[in-house]
Amino acid sequence: MSALREVLAAAALVAGKDLRIEARSRVATNHVLPFVAVVVMLFAFALDTEATTLRRAAGGLFWVTVVFAAVLVVQRGAQLEQQDGAGEALRLSGLRPAGVFLGKGAALFVELMVVEVVLAVAMVVLYDLRLGGVVLLVVTAVVATAAIAAAGAIYGPLVAGLSGRETVLPLLLLPVLAPVLLAASRAFEVALGRGVGSGWPWVGMLGMLCGIYVVLGALTSGPLLDET
Amino acid sequence: MTDLPTPTHPAPVDSTGSRGSRILGAIAAGLVAATCFYAFVVTGPDSQLGETVRILYLHVPSVITAYLLVAIAAGASAFHLWKRNEFSDLLAASATEIGMVFLGVTLVTGMLWGRPTWGVYWVWDARLTTTALLFLMLVGYAVVRSLPAEPRSRATRSAVLSLVSLALVPVVSRSVEWWNSLHQGQTVLGTSDAKLDGAQLFGLFLGMVSGPVIAAWLLMHRFRVAWLAERAEELGLDAAIAARRLEAGGDAAGATS
Amino acid sequence: MSGVVATLGWDEVGGYVVVAWVAGVGAIGGYAASVVRKGRRLSRQVPPESRRWM
């Protein structure tokens, strides 16, 4: 039982550290949120200012934006590890690697949820969305974001310290997030009244994806922490 | 199967070939010739697929071979994370690269088969979508391997990447399959609907044996290339260190570096 | 169903078949050539003692 306690303690420590850094540097708020707002507008330019098109595609557009924002946020997290030997300190700290992974994932989760709330507001306003199925929307968002955060917590450290990581991370992360994008978009479509069937099976799939990413992350956290 | 040149040998072998690889290569060449013979001469056009069936003698073996290589790579990666030896790392990298080539061939031949039979180059069904995503993951792997990094660190990153990618393949496949099932009226487009006669089956069988044999031959050479690259890198490093020592020895009495 | 076979005869789809085989064999053959070439080049850089694979 104490091993679990150590993992959770390490997670809390790392999550707290990452979130405190974010609170001080405000990268997510000052860089990513404006980016997200710009993307929302770009879709209107690219597709159609006619509200019906945007409303029809809103479910998918939301998650595409979240996935791109996630790349930025994960990128930022990886960058932080490189500064001032923070990564080295983490490795030498003796913290449980699985805990470090969970902590990083938790911090990413919080940052992404903040981004999503703002994004949702922007879309409702700009695309004239009528929100229905709020429970489905919220649950989908929580589970999908957890899956994205877990994947980010694997791939962020994986590319940390590599030259050329800024351009490599999207190539690695996005294919992996494709099933999350698929399931979350379909669930959102159902909630917004445009989908086929029930949205909850998609939430189930998201839960499974989240579980897979968390398990993979926990298993690979040890080797990655040692070597990178 | 080592081919160390003996001291009495007049000159060292200047290639990654060996007796074993040459035998394998000859077998591979023979099988390919036999497959082509069956694909173009022995068999006629299919009753349902017409002349397009001839593409399948290349397409099906290449996808089987690609999956085989990806499985080898994943196994080697897992082994590497356990034992941390160079052999498993280089094997994983070689298998992944060759798998990427075969998977690319699969996608292209698949598209060229799909255009005349389905009318479109691409459909978003589970199989194609998963194959395309897997291909992109393999490209990602190749890119990560190409970035400058310490061999040990690179090996670990690659191994993790390989295993995570492979773990997600069935997940992607299932989710796309399900997605398509929700759209009523989506016709199921399959290649396995065609009934094959004896000659066709044998041609396909020949292909499916050729593919892995070619892959094995490629794997031998590619592994050796990777091995030599590591040795050359080490030699380069040794030379640089030696040169630096020489400089330092010269500067010892002089100014600080 | 013979209508299907007629539309999938050599005149209609022969091009696709040829391109597919040329592309496939070309890609694999080209890759093989580049691997062997690289092997030759590296073999010359590394002294014989270190060439022992495995």
Of B137, B140, B175, the CB nearest to A179: B175
B184 pLDDT exceeds 70?
A: no
pLDDT for the residue B143 = 92
What is the pLDDT confidence band of residue B13, given thresholds at 50, 70 and 90? low
Of B81, B156, B164, the CB nearest to A216: B164
Nearest CA to A110 out of A181, A12, A204 is that of A12
Distance CA B198, CA B93 (A): 38
Give residue A172's domain range.
2-227
| Residues of chain C contacting residue B17, judged by C-beta atoms under 8 Å apart | 36, 39
Convert the pLDDT of each residue in A14-57 to its tens digit: 999 989 988 888 877 788 999 999 999 898 888 877 778 888 88
Q: Retrieve residue C16's tokens.
A: 């696709």
Distance CA A106, CA A100 (A): 10
- In this complex, whether A and C touch, counting 3 or more CB pairs under 8 angstroms, is no
Nearest CA to A151 out of A184, A188, A119 is that of A184
B98 pLDDT exceeds 80?
A: yes
Q: Burial, A46: exposed, middle or buried (Cβ in 10 Å; 0-12, 13-18, 19+)?
A: exposed
Instruction: Categorise residue A164: left if φ over 0, alpha if ψ from -120 to 50, beta otherwise.
Output: left
Share of chain B above pLDDT 70, in %: 86
- Tell me if chain B has a CB within 8 Å of the CB of C18: no
Distance CA C49, CA B177 (A): 53
Convert the pLDDT of each residue in B34-63 to its tens digit: 999 888 888 888 878 888 888 999 999 999
- Tell me if chain B has a CB within 8 Å of the CB of A181: no
CA atoms within 13 A on the CB side of C38: 17
Determine the residue among B129, B130, B156, B183 to mutate to test chain A binding: the one whose Cβ has the most chain A Cβ atoms within 10 Å.
B156
Question: What's the farthest any 2 CA atoms get from each other in chain C?
Answer: 66
ipTM: 0.86
pLDDT for the residue B58 = 94
Distance CA A28, CA A110 (A): 11
Contact C16, B52 (CB under 8 A): yes
Nearest CA to B172 out of A183, A34, A123 is that of A183
Distance CA A44, CA A48 (A): 5
pLDDT for the residue B252 = 59
The structure tokens 């001839």 sit at: B54
pLDDT for the residue B127 = 82
Cβ–Cβ below 8 Å for A209 and B161: no
Tell me the torsion sign for CA atoms A4, A6, A7, A9: positive
Nearest CA to C43 out of B4, B12, B14 is that of B14
Report helix angle A51-82 to A134-159, nearest 10: 40
B251 pLDDT exceeds 80?
A: no
Distance CA B189, CA B194 (A): 11
Angle at B94 between CA B71 and CA B222, to 5 degrees: 135
B1 pLDDT exceeds 50?
A: no
Convert the pLDDT of each residue in C1-49 to its tens digit: 445 556 778 888 888 999 999 999 999 999 999 999 999 998 888 877 7
Q: Retrieve residue B145's tokens.
A: 């391997």
The residue with greater pLDDT, B201 or A84, is B201
B153 pLDDT exceeds 50?
A: yes
Residues of chain A below pLDDT 50: none
Highest mean pLDDT, choosing among A46-50, A208-212, B179-183, B253-257? A208-212
Rounded to the nearest angstrom, the minimum Cα separation between B224 and chain A is 25
DSSP conformation letters of A145-160? HHHHHHHHHHHHHHHT
| Residues of chain A contacting residue B164, judged by C-beta atoms under 8 Å apart | 154, 176, 216, 220
Nearest CA to B141 out of A155, A138, A57 is that of A155
Task: Tell me what the pLDDT averaged over chain B comes to.
Answer: 84
B78 pLDDT exceeds 90?
A: yes
Q: Retrieve residue A169's tokens.
A: 């991370």
* Those residues with Cβ within 8 angstroms of residue A134's Cβ, 6 or more apart along the chain or in another chain: A191
Closest residue in A to B82 (Cα) is A223
Cβ–Cβ below 8 Å for B231 and C51: yes
Contact A127, A57 (CB under 8 A): no
| Residues of chain B contacting residue C21, judged by C-beta atoms under 8 Å apart | 54-55, 58
Q: Mapping DSSP to helix (H, G, I), strand (E, B) and coil, where does residue B72 land?
A: helix
Distance CA B129, CA B122 (A): 9
pLDDT for the residue B253 = 53
Show which of residues 70-89 on chain B sit within 8 Å of chain A, judged by CB atoms.
81
* Those residues with Cβ within 8 angstroms of residue A64's Cβ, 6 or more apart along the chain or in another chain: A181
pLDDT for the residue B187 = 46
Question: What's the farthest any 2 CA atoms get from each other in chain B?
Answer: 87
Distance CA A76, CA A27 (A): 8
Q: Which amino acid is at C31?
A: Y
Q: Mapping DSSP to helix (H, G, I), strand (E, B) and coil, where does residue B50 land?
A: strand
Of B55, B62, B228, the CB nearest to C43: B228
Cβ–Cβ below 8 Å for A227 and B157: yes
Distance CA A22, CA A54 (A): 32
Contact C24, B109 (CB under 8 A): yes
Q: How many helices (H) and strands (E) does chain B have?
A: 6, 0
Cβ–Cβ below 8 Å for C20 and B55: yes
Determine the residue among A88, A155, A158 to mutate to test chain B binding: the one whose Cβ has the most chain B Cβ atoms within 10 Å.
A158
Domain total of chain A? 1
B201 pLDDT exceeds 90?
A: no
Contact A161, B152 (CB under 8 A): no
Distance CA B222, CA B102 (A): 14
Q: Mapping DSSP to helix (H, G, I), strand (E, B) and coil, where does residue B46 land?
A: strand
Distance CA A177, CA A152 (A): 9
pLDDT for the residue C25 = 94
How many other CB atoms sit within 10 Å of the CB of residue C46?
A: 18
Show which of residues 116-155 on chain A sit within 8 Å of chain B, judged by CB atoms.
154
pTM, to two decimals: 0.86
What is the pLDDT confidence band of residue B149, given thresholds at 50, 70 and 90? confident
Question: What's the farthest any 2 CA atoms get from each other in chain A?
Answer: 58
Angle at C54 between CA B144 and CA B27, to 5 degrees: 90
- Tell me if chain B has a CB within 8 Å of the CB of C29: no
- Tell me if chain C has a CB within 8 Å of the CB of B62: yes
Convert the pLDDT of each residue in A98-114 to its tens digit: 999 999 999 999 999 99
B9 pLDDT exceeds 50?
A: no
What is the pLDDT confidence band of residue B257, given thresholds at 50, 70 and 90? very low
| Residues of chain A contacting residue B179, judged by C-beta atoms under 8 Å apart | 182, 186
Cβ–Cβ below 8 Å for B143 and A175: no
Tell me the torsion sign for CA atoms B174, B176, B178, B181: negative
How many other CB atoms sit within 10 Å of the CB of residue A94?
A: 8
Tell me the helix, strand and coil percentages in chain C, rounded to 5.
85, 0, 15
What is the pLDDT confidence band of residue B11, given thresholds at 50, 70 and 90? very low
Convert the pLDDT of each residue in B202-219 to its tens digit: 888 999 999 999 999 999
Closest residue in B to C49 (Cα) is B4
Cβ–Cβ below 8 Å for B49 and C27: no
B65 pLDDT exceeds 70?
A: yes
